[in-house]
Amino acid sequence: MKPDNGSRTARAVPGPEKEPIICHTFDLTDPEGCCRELEKRRSNTMKATTEKTDFLSSATGILIAAIAANLLWGSAPAFIKLGYRAFAIAGGDVMEQILFAGVRFTLAGVLTVLLGSLLRRRILLPKRSSGGMIPVLATVQTVIQYAFYYIGLSRAPGYKASIIAPTSTFFALLIAALLFRQEKLTAKKLLGCLIGFAGVVVVSLSGQFGGGVRLVGEGFLVFSAAAYGCASVLIKRYSLREDPIVLSGWQFILGGLLMTVAGLIGGGRLNAVDAAAWVIMIYLGFLSAIAYMLWSLLLQRHPVSRIMVFSFLNPVFGVLLSAVLLDEYKALSIPRCLLAMLLVCIGVWIVNYPGKETISENKL
């Protein structure tokens, strides 16, 4: 045994982080004082870490983040249509629509990774084990969902897209219950789905935009909602093994690049009418980055049902912004639109609240 010469030494005491907290002022003549110092530092570190990571786990955090995300998403239909006008993209210009979406989501992915890297204080790169998850999400959430959405939105008014989009809640429930066995499909939830889809039927048959249901229009918007419902369940599963911001950012980049290349190969070109066109594009990129970062973080911390309940805000914001920014209030049937929006909101509410959380975490 080495003799005790009373010199100052450093003792490592495990802290809340992986790296130990080191006390460089330890004196053998006052071990209790050093322990008190280490405990105080450990307590302060844990408190700071908890405050940093648990805000989105609190009721206030859920409310603020969910409302902000749905407000941003609610503005998307109006600004996409404004972007179509600014880039002179007509309803039949499918390759231009795909290219428009590709550029937007490539930008959104880069912004997500940059903002996430600043938030995490490290460069966000996917793990090797995430190699299969990102292509799947890129295909389902970006390529499939937004190919249907952008083409469908070019043939349908913005307020209809806003009311149809939240049906992703019902698709998420059905997929989680029937395919992944993560949720119980109770009579109450089935009733909520039926009421919500009734709202889609009402809105699809209303208005003065040609009326009726068009496959390449309202039909594509429903397909898009189904793809997003599936993506919501996948994000919940994958975020247990990978940072959801990493998943969102890199799947946006991959999906956006695929759509950009497809649009260019198909002959699509973006011809901006004025500088405002690119301002809209940048806003749409930021919209996706911020909204999906917030939503993915919420899905990582909470069951799908608890978060998806806030989707009822999406049609409210979307209809209002489309009516104001696109002047659609002049043509839409206000009573039917309100009825459809009410049915969808009630359906979302019945499906998700109140009630016990039924997502089985151990199956994810």
CA-CA-CA-CA torsion sign (181, 314, 249, 272): positive
* Whole-number pLDDT of residue 340: 84
More confident residue, 38 or 303: 303
Per-residue pLDDT reduced to its tens digit, 45-92: 434 444 445 687 888 888 898 899 989 989 999 999 999 999 999 988
Distance CA 228, CA 76 (A): 15
Average pLDDT over residues 325-331: 80
**Which DSSP string do the residues of 44-63 spell out, in sequence order?**
HHHHHHHHHHSGGGSHHHHH
Average pLDDT over residues 323-349: 81
Q: Global pTM?
A: 0.74
Instruction: Note whether 332 and 208 are within 8 A (CB).
Output: yes
Per-residue pLDDT reduced to its tens digit, 299-317: 778 876 677 678 778 888 8
More confident residue, 5 or 73: 73
pLDDT bin (cut points 50, 70, 90) of residue 139 is: very high
Query: CA angle 24-30-34, nearest 5°?
Result: 40
pLDDT bin (cut points 50, 70, 90) of residue 148 is: very high
Per-residue pLDDT reduced to its tens digit, 190-247: 888 888 888 877 876 655 444 556 788 888 999 998 998 888 888 878 878 888 888 8
b/e 62-88 (16+ beta carbons within 10 angstroms → b):
beebbeebbbbbbbbbbbbbbbbebbe
The alpha carbon of 328 is separated from its chain's Cα centroid by a whole number of angstroms, namely 26
Q: What token pair was written down for 277?
A: 């066109």
b/e 162-175 (16+ beta carbons within 10 angstroms → b):
bbbbbbbbbbbbbb
- Report the share of the chain in percent with pLDDT over 90: 30
Residue 83: in which H helix or E strand, if any?
A: helix 59-86
Q: What token pair was written down for 67?
A: 């409302």
The widest CA-to-CA distance across the chain, in whole angstroms, is 93
b/e 134-159 (16+ beta carbons within 10 angstroms → b):
beebbbbbbbbbbbbbbbbbbbbbbb
More confident residue, 129 or 136: 136
The backbone torsions φ and ψ at residue 12, rounded to the nearest 5 degrees and listed phi first, read -90, 130
Nearest to 38 by CA among 26, 28, 52: 26
Instruction: Note whether 208 and 265 are within 8 A (CB).
Output: no
Instruction: Note whether 147 and 259 are within 8 A (CB).
Output: yes
Question: So where are the chain's domains?
Answer: 91-294+308-363
**Worst-scoring range by mean pLDDT, 47-51, 91-95, 114-118?**
47-51
Residue with tokens 């199956």: 363
Per-residue pLDDT reduced to its tens digit, 162-190: 888 878 878 887 887 777 776 777 888 88
Residue 21: in which H helix or E strand, if any?
A: strand 21-23
Query: For 74, how many CA atoms within 13 A lie in the half-sphere containing its CB?
Result: 22
Instruction: Note whether 182 and 363 are within 8 A (CB).
Output: yes
